[in-house]
Each structure stands twice: as structure tokens, then as C-alpha cells.
Structure 1
Amino acid sequence: MGQLILRLLVVLNNEKLDSTNYHIAMTLLNHYHNINTLSITEVAKLCNVSKSTVSKFARSIGFDDYFDLKDAAVFIENRFQNDLNYVSNILSSIERLGTESYFDAIIKDIEAYKNQIDLDAIDRLASDLLNYENVAAFGLLFSESAAIDLQYKLAYNGKFIVTFQSDIKQEEYIEQANEDTLIIIFSNSGNFLAKQQLRAGTPKKNVFKHTKAKIVAVTSNTEVKDYPFVADGIYFPHQTEIQTHAVLYQIIMDMLVSRFRYYRKLEQVE
């Protein structure tokens, strides 16, 4: 999924149905495969708005102008040659090997995590959740879904954390965070911590070098331990080529929230 698609979906999920931004975003998505051939005049006509409104919209979702937005619209499946992306990895595997192989991969990775689980790491993060008043959780695409899920699961238990689907708001929050903030990063590959994953050439991400927050990673990439800005991590293994992290995230979060409840009860007794 490209950066433009992500940002347009964020608009749909956050803007009012009768807003101009919602209307433009929906129109662009409905004509997505033609955007790279459409002029700003043609897009303005499609949306029934002025060219200046289209330009303003492009800037409001993080692009320099309409031409920058248009450049991001070129749709190439696996544009950045990431063989771990959803279509190339999961859907192609199911199509080639069938559903039984997919279930086997999930079960194998769950068993591997069950046997290698670091309960101390989960306890440390659970304790941090109790002790930090300001907490945020971020990820990209399916990893951001895990962050949203954690937000809901903690809310059920009286702990309220921040998350954003917008990559722009995520970076702003990370860069501005102080020492009193805990940020949990969901990233199977660990690339969220080091790369601009949705940008051509995947340039380096420098925002973590400027943050003062405590960064805790949930990832399968143990090399993240060596990143100077990563204070701690929960690491899970992959025994197969199938990217099962969306399932593993759920298991990790359930155990994390359970331990948070445990520590909160201890605190209340004391």
C-alpha cells in the first residue's frame, strides 16, 4: 500500500461525511488508478471544487502540492520490492499452497512463541504502562491495527493511550515527546524504527533520534536491541516464511494487558 492510499484512508476515517476533505478523498480513491494521468484541472472538475482547493487538500495531507500527490499515486504492486507485504506474502502463499498451509504456519509460529516467550519483557512493559501517564502506540498499516487494538483493550481496563493512523501525526508526536512519555512501536520487521517505508527509496527515518520518550519495540527483529534509542523490546520468532505477526500481536497484547491488570491490582492493595 502506498503513502497516498494510506493518507486518503485516514481522511475517510477521521473527517465528517459532509466535509470537503472527505468528498475529495473519496473521489480520489474512486478514481485512484487514473490519478497519475489526471491534471489538477481534471481532478478539480471531478471533485467539483476549485484547483486551489485541490492544492490545499494535497498540502493538508502532507504533500508539497498536487504534483507531489500525483507522483505518489502511481500504483505498482509491491512498488518498494518488499516481499513481506500482504499480497506477495500472505495472499500469494494461500493461492499457491492452500489454506491448510496457512493455518499450519500460524500454529507453528504460535508454538514457537509459546516456547520462547520472554515473560520478563512483558512484565517490564506492563509496569511501564502503569507508571507512565503519557503513553502512545504506533505502527504502520497492520501494525497500526495492533496499536489501535491495544488502545481499546487498555481502555477496557481504565488505561487510556494515544495512537494515530496518520504517519504525519505519528512523527510529530514522536519528535515532540518528552521524558515523561512511553511510546510502544509495533513493527514486525523493525523497519518502522529506521526507514520511511512508504516513500520511494525508503530513506532513513531520523525522528527517533530527536525524541526524549522511552521507546519500547514489539518486533521479530532482534537487531532492534542495538538501536541506541530503543530502551526495551518484546521479541517474537518466525519459524515460517508466512508473516503471522498480526496473529502474534493479539497474543502478546492479551498477555500484556493481563499483566497490567495484575500490577494495577497490586498497587491498589498497597
Structure 2
Amino acid sequence: MLYDKLPIVFLSTLASEKKDSTNSQIASYLLDHLEEIKDIGIRDMAKECHVAMSSISRFCKEIGLHDFNELRELLVSTNMNFEQNSLSSSCDERLKAYSSKVKESIEMVENSIDIKQIGLLCKEIKHYEKVAAFGLLKAGTVAFNLQTDLLMLGKQIYSNISYKQQLQYILSATKDDLIIIFSYTGCYFDYPDLRALKNKLNAPQIWLISSKQETYPKFIDHVITFDSLQDQNSHPYQLQFIAGLIGQEYARIV
């Protein structure tokens, strides 16, 4: 995985909650003090966040965690990692190196993606009345971009940045739903909550857009794959390119 679960649930909380809400306050404080609060109990955490212990317990439930123990495990195990593309002392060289990486990643998609599958997906989008697009972190912005493009073309679809809301939607979906998942590593359903709940799915039509992997969950109906470098720097551009391509191809059939 490119990212651990903690930034997924915390950043989705900050993006979906009001700035002054209790959950936002807790998430913001914990992200700012990851090292200091890794080994403290719920009482001390509540004191540090200036909230009641019940607020910490409620926070865990509302962001999609089972309990405080899971929160502590995430705080202890999470590794924040940023991949720096170039260490050159020249700003011009750093610009060129980053630009080259992005261009290379998009060319990899161009040379490896099956455009016919994109066309089939667009027909499905047109056919289904209930369509949703999801992704985690940067892939979530890709889903929103697709939502915007399709709205401009007269097709309204659902999306949500909240990790918990995505879970709830997927689990309540039926065979009448089309769900598009953007997942650079293909591991969207490998996160513990989704892995444990996937047997409860009510057979929605699921399309996964992912870099090439050896295997995918059996309940996924279609996978659109592409070659990738499996790095932080290029992956949002590859997914954004594909989302834009879906919009372009969808425009041809409406």
C-alpha cells in the first residue's frame, strides 16, 4: 500500500467534517502530535484534545474504527512516508525531473490501457441509474473529477470523500448499483474494514481501475488495468488521466 489506514480515515474526516466539529478537532490534534500521543491511554488523550473520554470513543466509531484499541494500533504502526522525486540542488533540474516523471507515467497509461474497456464502462455508466465513484486520499479527488465531468454531460453520479460513508454506500448497494473504484495499487478492498465486510455485498456491479496486479477479489466484475511505476509522485496523474479519458469517451455516446 502507498498509504496506511490512519491518514485515510483522518484526512477524510477533516475533509468531510466542519472545521470546528469535535471529530475535526480530535483528528487535527492527533495528526499534529503523532509522536507524543502514540502510547497514551484514552483518558490522557481526551485531556490533551480538551474533550471528554466519550468523545474519543465516539470519534473512533464515527470515523470507521472499531474502538479505541484500533486507534492506538494505528497510531503506533503508522509510518508517514514522502517520496522526494529529485535531490538535485538545481530548481530547474528538479522541475525537469518531476515533469519527466509525470509525462512518463501518463505515457505508460496510454501504452497499456485497453480503450475498449473504457468504452464498455461508459456504456454501463449510461445504462445504470445509480452510479457511484470512490477512491481513497488522492484517488478520492479523481472520483470527484469524474463526477464533475459526467455532470457536465448530463449524468449525475454519487461520490463521497469520507471513508466511512464509502463503506456504508458499498455495503448498502444492490445489483441495481454501478460502483467505480479508483485504486492505484488495487488494494482498495484490502483495508481491514472492507476485507471483513466484503462477504456482505449485495452483488453491485463493481469496476476497479487499478495498476496491473496478479489477482483481484472475486466479487469485482471488471478491472481496467494500466502499467505503473508504483510511486507516490506519478500515481495521481495516471488516475486523473484515466478519469478524464472516461469523460471524453462518455461524451461520444450521449
Normalising by structure 1, we get a TM-score of 0.78
Residue number in structure 1 paired with 2:146: 150
Paired AA for residue 36 in structure 1: K
How many Å separate the matches in 2 of 1:59 and 1:208? 19
Paired AA for residue 76 in structure 2: V
Q: Which one of 87, 92, 95 corresponds to residue 95 of structure 1?
A: 87
Instruction: Mark the runs of 5 or more structure 2 residues left unpaired by the alignment.
Output: none
1:154 positional shift: 1.8
1:148 positional shift: 2.1
Q: Which one of 244, 249, 254 corresponds to residue 254 of structure 1?
A: 244
Preserved CA contact (<8 Å) 1:138 1:170: yes
How many Å separate the matches in 2 of 1:263 and 1:221? 28
SS at match of 1:235: strand
Identity fraction in percent: 30
Equivalences for residues 198-213 of structure 1 within 5 A: 205-211=195-201, 212-213=203-204
1:72 maps onto 2:62 in alignment: no
1:130 positional shift: 0.8
1:151 positional shift: 1.7
Structure-2 change in CA distance of 1:177 and 1:31 (3 Å): same
Q: Which one of 30, 40, 43 corresponds to residue 41 of structure 1?
A: 43
1:135 positional shift: 1.0
- RMSD, aligned CA: 2.8
SS at match of 2:86: helix
How many Å separate the matches in 2 of 1:255 and 1:206? 33
How many Å separate the matches in 2 of 1:151 and 1:51? 38
Structure-2 change in CA distance of 1:116 and 1:11 (3 Å): closer
Paired AA for residue 13 in structure 1: A
Equivalences for residues 39-188 of structure 1 within 5 A: 39-74=41-76, 76-77=78-79, 87=82, 90-91=83-84, 93-95=85-87, 98-188=94-184
Residue number in structure 2 paired with 1:82: none
Structure-2 change in CA distance of 1:257 and 1:50 (3 Å): same
Aligned length: 246
1:246 positional shift: 1.3
Instruction: Mark the runs of 5 or more structure 1 residues left unpaired by the alignment.
Output: 79-85, 265-270
Greater relative contact order (Cα < 8 A, sep 6+): 2
How many Å separate the matches in 1 of 2:179 and 2:155? 14
How many Å separate the matches in 1 of 2:101 and 2:19? 41
Dislocated runs of 4+, deviation >6 Å:
none
Structure-2 change in CA distance of 1:180 and 1:15 (3 Å): same
1:228 maps onto 2:218 in alignment: yes
1:205 positional shift: 1.7
Paired AA for residue 185 in structure 1: I
How many Å separate the matches in 2 of 1:241 and 1:54? 35
Preserved CA contact (<8 Å) 1:174 1:207: no
Paired AA for residue 153 in structure 1: D
1:16 maps onto 2:11 in alignment: no
Normalising by structure 2, we get a TM-score of 0.82
Q: Which moved more, 1:95-104 or 1:245-254?
A: 95-104
Preserved CA contact (<8 Å) 1:8 1:25: yes
1:215 positional shift: 1.1
Q: Which one of 206, 215, 230 corresponds to residue 206 of structure 2?
A: 215
**CA-to-aligned-CA distance 1:208-251 (integer Å, 9 cap, x gap):** 44421111111121545x6432222322123x564523112222
